[in-house]
């Protein structure tokens, strides 16, 4: 009788463990979707769009827009390192999340 109770308890624990694992995998899915979103075009993005990037707050977004306006847009992604506050480490995090459409250089005046 005790053995049967022990087996039932074990089955219950394993059932809860697998249910929790499934929830964790579902919770992780939205974070993975971020990586598959379209890259942000540095020559068109608004400050709100730029702020969705990791490490880019309102001040950095404003500096990106100022650089874009003052320099006629970004010619290549590496130009992002010319923006004050974006060093090599930040750039490496942002590189896969941004793009530069040279045809739109300076096309947006959005703030």
For tokens 């992780």, name the residue.
28
Written out in words, the top-level CATH class of the domain with range 40-104 is mainly alpha
Q: Which residues contact 50 (CB under 8 A, 6 or more apart)?
A: 40, 56, 60, 61, 64, 65
| Model pLDDT, residue 45 | 98
| Model pLDDT, residue 58 | 98
Q: How many helices (H) and strands (E) does the chain have?
A: 4, 2
Backbone angles phi, psi at 37, to 5 degrees: -70, 160
- Where do the domains of the chain lie? 1-36, 40-104
pLDDT along the chain (111 residues), means of 10: 66 57 45 64 98 97 98 97 96 97 60 43
| Model pLDDT, residue 12 | 67
What is the pTM (predicted TM-score) of this model? 0.62
| Model pLDDT, residue 2 | 72
């Amino acid at each position: 009788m005790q053995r049967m109770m022990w087996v039932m308890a074990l089955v219950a624990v394993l059932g809860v463990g697998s249910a929790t694992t499934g929830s964790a995998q579902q919770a992780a899915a939205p974070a993975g979707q971020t990586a598959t979103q379209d890259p942000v075009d540095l020559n068109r993005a608004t400050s709100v769009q730029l702020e969705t990037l990791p490490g880019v707050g309102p001040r950095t977004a404003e500096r990106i827009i100022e650089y874009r306006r003052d320099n006629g847009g970004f010619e290549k992604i590496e130009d992002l390192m010319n923006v004050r506050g974006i060093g090599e480490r930040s750039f490496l995090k942002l590189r896969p999340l941004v793009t530069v459409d040279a045809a739109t250089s300076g096309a947006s005046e959005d703030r």
